[in-house]
Amino acid sequence: MWRCSGLRRLTGRCANHKVWRWRSSKACERALQYKVGEKIHGFTINQVTPIPELFLTAVKLSHDNTGARYLHLAREDKNNLFSVQFRTTPMDSTGVPHILEHTVLCGSQKYPCRDPFFKMLNRSLSTFMNAFTASDYTLYPFSTQNPKDFQNLLSVYLDAAFFPCLRELDFWQEGWRLEHEDPADPQTPLIFKGIVFNEMKGAFTDNERIFSQHLQNRLLPDHTYSVISGGDPLCIPDLTWEQLKQFHATHYHPSNARFFTYGNFQLEKHLKQIDEETLSKFQKIEPSTIVPAQKPWDKPREYQITCGPDSLATDSSKQTTVSVSFLLPGITNTFEAFTLNLLSSLLIGGPNSPFYKALIESGLGTGFSPDVGYNGYTREAYFSVGLQGIAEKDIQTVRNIIDRTIDEVIEKGFEDDRIEALLHKTEIQMKHQSTSFGLTLTSYIASCWNHDGDPVELLKLGNQMAQFRQHLKESPVFLQEKIKQYFKNNQHKLTLSMKPDDKYYEKQTQMETEKLQQKVNSLSRKDKERIYEKGLELRTQQSKTQDASCLPALKVSDIERTIPFTELDVTLAAGEIPVQYCAQPTNGMVYFRAFSSLNTLPEELKLYVPLFCSVLTKLGCGILNYREQAQQIELKTGGMTVSPHVLPDDSHLDTYEQGVLFSSLCLDRNLPDMMHLWSEIFNNPCFEEEEHFKVLVKMSAQELSNGIPDSGHLYAAIRASRTLTPAGDLQETFNGMDQVRLMKRIAEMTDIKPVLRKLPRIKKHLLNCDNMSRCSVNATPQQMSETEKVVERFIKNLGRSKKERKTVRPHVIEKPAYNGSSGSTYVNGSQIIRKLITDPTFKPCQMKTHFLLPFPVNYVGECVRTVAYTDPDHASLKILARLMTAKFLHTEIREKGGAYGGGAKLSRDGVFTFYSYRDPNSIETLHSFGKAVDWAKSGKFTQQDIDEAKLSVFSAVDAPVAPSDKGMDHFLYGLSDEMKQAHREQLFAVSHDKLTDVSNKYLGIGKCTHGLAVLGPENAKIAKDPSWIIR
């Protein structure tokens, strides 16, 4: 997978991670016993450092023979992670590191079967497996909770990285190849094919990607950052198989590698395996992969580029983007990087920041330019700020505003409260715990470590915060001096502008055609014969049944038979609203959620609920205007979010719950302040700020439009399932292309008042005691009694409707969530009653929709209505989806078809979905979905295949749950642990007969209702077929 700008730093919100008390952490205590200079399995310990703020101990080692570096982070977390990282510094845009990342995973010396990486997804209980190509490194991470699985995956990853087969046919499949349109017919024209080739064509349909890529290439033009590491589709066909093998030989060596492990498994075992299986077979070399410092410019530079038009952009005359970027110091100076990162957040973060006020609120554009803020993924960091969605004539105005704002900040500085709010955010990030903390950490240190910075220093956030406070104390103008130094007096300054060209995609196609022509013209008859033969050989290879017996695998018997049960207490607050309390080791954090029903909301207001949710916490409340409210939210909470939800019933497809979820988190000392903010938002929200509302609408419309290239398959699936269940239509309204188009229309309105006036009407149906369905709290046992009092006070203070509001839909079912008296021994106290909507007259129908988008790739979805969660067939269909993906669809859609991804999945709502992602085909892919059903009905799969599918499903079912999210299945869906255990037993019981039975019963033509949707370019076959609706 290609990452355009490396990986996000730790300053993004990291969700909730399982950790126990620092004092009792066995893993950390064990690590503290190591001595500097101690030798273990060919490694020498160089440093042992406790990092109490992150509840871990860092052990730094080096390998004696090869010089390979190693960092182990011991933490009492059972979700253990491994990664190996190589510095990869391409000097052209053929995408060699990216194609190599794909190709090494296609088979190795010890595991010569085709595609061991994808096969291991089904032979393991991994919680994460992937590979990433950044601008200057390639990273191979996996995580698992099972020690045996860890050893298996480690063996496969090490062999893939260091001893890959790198077969020519794998290079053809993964990278690029010339092949006949129909490989079996040499009369059909030769075309470019290949997975990375199509992935990158898809990646550059995203205008934000185009801009970010050019920004990096132009700002750092001297070395590896001047090229596209993922590959430019017009340069990828220049890469040869020989060059690929050569790049591996020079870059994938232990002397150029950094090994990382995290979690509570024993370090010695990892070191022994890594040394024996890999490092003992190499000698030290001096890798020539160092990235030299970028030579600073003596005067600023300017560039203009073009991109494709955005058919969903709010205003066709305002599609220009401009930004001003500054080169900053090297990222290995950890304190300077920490300071500049914080400074960046002060400059652009939230409505109180100077650039938000000056640029966003100027009304000139729709949002910040791509890559805004501090970017620390390259050897030297950079800062970028600008606007997208502006008129071309306003480029100079934006530049002037940026210069003026820099001058104003140098003069005035920042308010103390804003700096405090930012440091509070960092404190929350250190306490707030995520289930993928190992992955967060390996991503966080990757760039700095890649350039020989100290990863351990980088993790000492407590030290950096203390140092930062000290500098501010000693010099109140500390931050202004930095702005003067790095922005005002910096000649290495790039102004980049990008405007749409209506013929952009046409020109890209033309250039690709010319490239193809040039390649084809240079072929001799013999070359053409070889291409035809190789094409047939590849197709034969792809169609062959694979023998994967060389690969290690867990067995179904390795899966835990039972789930750990979670204790929950439900009490009635203010005598009427159920509150679920779940005591967890949350590390001094409190997580609060509330769910309000939409049952009384008039139908014509439903479309506006997502907009209402996105602006509710951003327009002010009580005596606070929107700036003051933003400040309080940052100072007192870790964020307050509001989102619409359509929750399926566990036993009926035509029944669902509709509502809005309010979520927030805070340090326990700030709980009263956080709940007071919620009281004000519920009782006294402000809907008067018309100008700021306009700004928020434009930003939201732009974000939705920008998100389509990455989420096209999800939009296709939502549309395809729209007419299959009563909830489907609401899902499309809230989360589908209908919502994207509505936001586009609202953003284009000259008078936005009619929309603003709808918000108080929605408020009356949502933000009161009568519509509040339930609340939940996750906190430590010690916090519970105080939390109960504060939540009780919040609920008592909630307003009530002046008049009784009737539900809009007459059919409401009151359904209790299971607790002690109704089938769960682990839920104590009162009952949560969910008010579900049902539609007894609903008739599912087929609908086929083609959304025309100016992309060179497609996103395809086909959905089938099947059965609800508690039906035993649901478990069989879940296993079947995984089986079809691994054993049929992956080969057909990715390997043969060249799409970046494709497969089948079953949602909790009983909708079975076939999908493809960044796919050069559409109609052919729909045929492949049909062939997959025929394959499943024929039962051409073995018991081994079924067991592998079960392993894969259980790795998702048993994914770690953070302390902040425990009990959420009960709170949101009414699922008790007993119900989940029953479903687990149904999964274990799935057999060959059950799989062929559900294939015949639900998936065949004429069995259940299907829906289809395609997002992508014009298609002659679809246009001729009157059964398709073209949008």
Rounded-to-integer distance, Cα 924 and Cα 202, Å: 18
**Do the Cβ atoms of 387 and 364 come closer than 8 Å?**
yes
Residues contacting residue 203 through CB under 8 Å, at least 6 positions apart: 2, 4, 209, 230, 709, 918
Q: 314 phi and psi, to 5 degrees?
A: -70, -30
Query: What type of residue is 839?
Result: D
Rounded-to-integer distance, Cα 56 and Cα 456, Å: 11
Token pair listed for 784? 């519970």
CB count in 10 Å sphere of residue 503: 13
Q: 663 phi and psi, to 5 degrees?
A: -130, 145
Q: Confirm whether 567 is a catalytic residue.
A: no
Among residues 319, 322, 310, which one has the least CA distance to residue 704?
310
Max CA separation in the chain (angstroms)? 85
**Do the Cβ atoms of 88 and 229 come closer than 8 Å?**
yes
Length of the chain: 1031
Token pair listed for 113? 């079967």
Instruction: Report CA torsion sign: 693, 696, 702, 707.
Output: negative
Among residues 798, 779, 392, 737, which one has the least CA distance to residue 577?
798
Rounded-to-integer distance, Cα 183 and Cα 974, Å: 52
Rounded-to-integer distance, Cα 299 and Cα 290, Å: 26
Phi-psi region for residue 263, left (φ > 0), alpha (ψ -120 to 50) or beta? left
CB count in 10 Å sphere of residue 614: 19
Catalytic residue, candidates 76, 101, 862, 892: 101
Across 767-794, b (16+ Cβ under 10 Å) vs e yields bbbebbbbbbbbbbeebbeebbebbbeb
Burial bucket for residue 184 (CB in 10 Å: 0-12, 13-18, 19+):
exposed
Q: Confirm whether 380 is a catalytic residue.
A: no
Q: By three-state DSSP, how is residue 109 classified?
A: coil
Token pair listed for 638? 């870790």
Catalytic residue, candidates 174, 380, 792, 892: 174
Q: Which residue has the tokens 């094409």?
A: 535
Rounded-to-integer distance, Cα 103 and Cα 556, Å: 30
Token pair listed for 739? 């919502």
**Do the Cβ atoms of 340 and 381 come closer than 8 Å?**
yes
**Do the Cβ atoms of 247 and 101 come closer than 8 Å?**
no
Rounded-to-integer distance, Cα 447 and Cα 216, Å: 15
| For helices 708-720 and 737-748, angle between their N-to-C axes, nearest 10 degrees | 120
Q: By three-state DSSP, how is residue 45 classified?
A: strand
Across 470-484, b (16+ Cβ under 10 Å) vs e yields eebeeeeebbbebbb
Residues contacting residue 53 through CB under 8 Å, at least 6 positions apart: 430, 460, 461, 462
Distances (CA, A) of 565 to 834, 966, 969: 22, 10, 12
Token pair listed for 433? 């715990």
| Angle formed at CA 868 by CA 775 and CA 126, multiple of 5 degrees | 80
Among residues 575, 582, 658, which one has the least CA distance to residue 830?
575
Distances (CA, A) of 169 to 238, 563, 795: 17, 44, 65
Q: By three-state DSSP, how is residue 692 classified?
A: helix
Active site (catalytic) residues: 101, 174
